[in-house]
Structure 1
């Protein structure tokens, strides 16, 4: 097995290794790179802001999609029953669909690690920026054309920016468009929202039909009953939920979630928004009261893991919820979109889990080095901003109270400059007991600065999960994709956990 980022800097993708073969897979169409600094992109993705300001219509629209699917014969319990054996494996990749080099860099390793898996799940944001049907060619069908098994998905907020139209067509047996609704009364909040709302774009039907041929083998075919579903596979049940535009669950979906959670099998939740991320709980509110995490923590429901996308990196929190029972809360959003910073995550200190239990990828030091070089290039202040991976690792270890993430061949000296750069770039500190003025750097990085720092050259720090199931255990491994050939040929394991099921 090749070195991981926890073993060596070369295992993280630093240095000058041989580029990967993924470049041969990337479409050569001009002008196709997605930029989150482009005002046109931001305007297309305006529906999330409109929903927050004028009311979120996602729950009602989701209910209409589910009703339409039920009318054409989707199973009432929304359970996909697969003929998988007691021992099998599947893949999970989150936030995949930007269509650029980082997404395609994941593909060779994913195909190699997943060649014997029974299916794959995309956890959130199948297509950026707005889930348009025409974007599925280069951002879904082409990259995964050689994956031989079915692919299921739960939508993310970006898939909802065109009212879920493309997602439903691809994953739900060519679901027809929803009939138009009655217009809201004039001069109301709903009327203003509808006036500004981004509508689904016209579809190039010939191009879409051609794209679908890339994944047309009978073994690749799958149909899911709607945007949320459950899969009965071997000895486990996998439950996928749709958190819409704003990360909430409507009452109808919540009632279904409680019902499917009563099944006696061990369960994995797959969600568009993680229940823990960046050192804090995010329990996902339910319309009418309660949270998704309340359902997951109920011992009668037997959840052993909750995996969410939306945050574009890997994080794992083994939370002890009652007695000796532990649930693995995982962020798995490293499947292809720009990388969200991990160096801004403060030292983890949560009930039932501490910094010593927490895992992330990229490592905080690698994240800081990655961002420092981007800022050095963009500001042309290379001598100030640029940190080597050793310097970044050293200053992060200092702020984590001397917890080095990997052995340093030559320990770097932590200077005033490295500390200042780390502070300016938002490296997380343990919160102070006494209040003081602090800039919201972690939120700023997640919401604005990380998207603006998308890069199209390795190392990419992308990742995906392989989950192996037996009647007794569940083994989850996080594999890295750096964009370099060594990690393509033998994708390193950045984290691994085995969960008992009996």
Structure 2
């Protein structure tokens, strides 16, 4: 298979001018259109607002869940291929090479998610395992919601699937996640915990807190029918764990609702990072670098996750985070001379988070520079995409707010001071109407924070190509690690011949140092 070149080569490779929509539409369940604009999804997500204002019980609930898993093992319910004491999955440890699919924020259960499926099967159907990274099920978890958001879309993926939860997966007390991935009984319900805060805050939280929808063993059996082959089965030892995947160790952490990890998990993270010389890749529900800034990822007992990641004794080579629904890659130079790849991979199946709000990455220099940064969609394509949606809903489709991809490429380069990633309209040929439309569209927010769920992004969500979805494929041996970003535009031609949007390769050099090289075709400046 010869993949399409990336979107920086031509607008057509981004999906503009799509001739035919992909066959993924046949896979979508009936009445699967997901929308955040109805009161139901927003009300179901209220635990986010409650946790931030009345105190977050997530840490206590996580610890209670882990105690339950320990009790299950003592009750003669073994976890094969797992060291439950260290929470390490070792069933792949003996492989000389490994291939892994990583899908971030997949779970809307509508066209946004199913558009990725044919491309996944085409370019990653042969991977040894997959990891779902953050927000598996929108809007608020629930055991039964996994039918159309996990079991059905990945019914034909032949390998086992592991996962780490995002904030949305905690809105049901993690019951759906623990049932699907840790084999917890579906009717056990979420653990009851006291939680932080004053007596009044705890009382209000108990009164208003969303409780998980009820489910039965029969409900789970019906869902698991979609993925019942022996090769597809997997059980993991909790919402955070490590996977020894041949020559690399994947470290999955659970950042809960607030983005902080508890003291117990922090101690585990330090131990599991220090206990193996394998090169490590951290997977987290909250990205460490995103939107041109370094974000904190605090540990409850003090310190920050990034301090552990950047410690040379721990041998990390990359960090992959979900939550922001696009693709971003920051090759970060550390002071000791090493380079770590920090990636955002949240385009696996939810509404698009705009990239045209990402500033010039030279603001991070010398750690990372604009010429080394990559994102998908390109900033100009993001501006063009949202202008089309804004025009339809705010200007009644009259074209007054629409900016073409060619114009948007040039206008974004002017706005943030970069070289255009591909040929755009010459500046002198851009009409005043297009410039005026860009000025009006750009300030409209398309990136935000819960519980508003990036309201401008969801308001202007689109299931029409180009859809700008993406996922990762990782291939590793003892000497080499390759990370590919594959695009899912929603176009039929890109289902049949997918777009390889980005590729970066690491090679093991002398003294155990890994050297990263970008192999993305096209211009060096994204």
- 2:364 corresponds, among 326, 350, 357, to 350
Whether the 8 Å contact between 2:61 and 2:192 is mirrored in structure 1 is no
Question: What runs of 5+ residues in structure 1 fail to find an aligned partner?
Answer: 428-438
Question: Could you state the TM-score of these two structures normalised by the residue count of structure 2?
Answer: 0.89
Aligned mates of 1:359, 1:477 — CA distance in 2: 12
Task: Compare 44-53 and 189-198 and name the one that shifted more.
Answer: 189-198
Aligned mates of 1:188, 1:330 — CA distance in 2: 41
Aligned mates of 2:196, 2:317 — CA distance in 1: 44
SS of 1:110's partner is helix
Change (3 A) 1:271 1:338: same
Whether the 8 Å contact between 1:277 and 1:315 is mirrored in structure 2 is yes
- 1:122 corresponds, among 125, 132, 135, to 132
- 1:222 corresponds, among 234, 254, 260, to 234
Aligned mates of 1:109, 1:412 — CA distance in 2: 39
SS of 2:470's partner is strand
Shift of 1:139: 0.8
Whether the 8 Å contact between 1:274 and 1:307 is mirrored in structure 2 is yes
- 2:486 corresponds, among 467, 479, 486, to 479
Equivalent residues, number:
489
Partner of 1:77: 86
Shift of 1:440: 7.4
Aligned mates of 2:27, 2:428 — CA distance in 1: 38
Aligned mates of 1:495, 1:412 — CA distance in 2: 31
Whether the 8 Å contact between 1:109 and 1:481 is mirrored in structure 2 is yes
Shift of 1:10: 0.8
Task: Within 5 Å, give how 1:193-212 maps onto structure 2.
Answer: 193-203=205-215, 205-212=217-224
Is 1:246 the counterpart of 2:261? The answer is no
Is 1:368 the counterpart of 2:375? The answer is no
Change (3 A) 1:104 1:183: closer
Shift of 1:441: 7.3
Aligned mates of 2:282, 2:428 — CA distance in 1: 42
Q: 1:198-241, CA deviations, whole angstroms, 9 ceiling, x for partnerless residues?
A: 00012265443212110010000000000000001111110000
Aligned mates of 2:171, 2:27 — CA distance in 1: 28
Question: Could you state the TM-score of these two structures normalised by the residue count of structure 1?
Answer: 0.93
Aligned mates of 1:23, 1:412 — CA distance in 2: 41
Q: 1:349-399, CA deviations, whole angstroms, 9 ceiling, x for partnerless residues?
A: 204111111100000011001000001000215332011111111101212
- 1:288 corresponds, among 298, 301, 317, to 301
Aligned mates of 1:412, 1:242 — CA distance in 2: 50
Change (3 A) 1:440 1:479: closer
Task: Within 5 Å, give how 1:75-154 maps onto structure 2.
Answer: 75-83=84-92, 85-154=95-164
- 2:189 corresponds, among 167, 172, 177, to 177
Partner of 1:66: 66
Partner of 1:274: 287
Shift of 1:37: 1.3
Is 1:494 the counterpart of 2:501? The answer is yes
Is 1:50 the counterpart of 2:47? The answer is no
Aligned mates of 1:145, 1:187 — CA distance in 2: 46
Partner of 1:388: 404
Change (3 A) 1:413 1:446: farther
Q: 1:78-122, CA deviations, whole angstroms, 9 ceiling, x for partnerless residues?
A: 000023521221100000000011110100010111122100000
Shift of 1:124: 0.2
Aligned-residue RMSD, C-alpha: 2.1
Aligned mates of 1:114, 1:424 — CA distance in 2: 40
Aligned mates of 1:207, 1:60 — CA distance in 2: 28
- 1:255 corresponds, among 263, 267, 284, to 267
Change (3 A) 1:414 1:172: same
Change (3 A) 1:292 1:365: same
SS of 2:144's partner is helix
Shift of 1:186: 8.8
Whether the 8 Å contact between 1:373 and 1:382 is mirrored in structure 2 is no
Aligned mates of 1:185, 1:467 — CA distance in 2: 42
Partner of 2:41: 41
Whether the 8 Å contact between 1:184 and 1:191 is mirrored in structure 2 is no
SS of 2:159's partner is coil
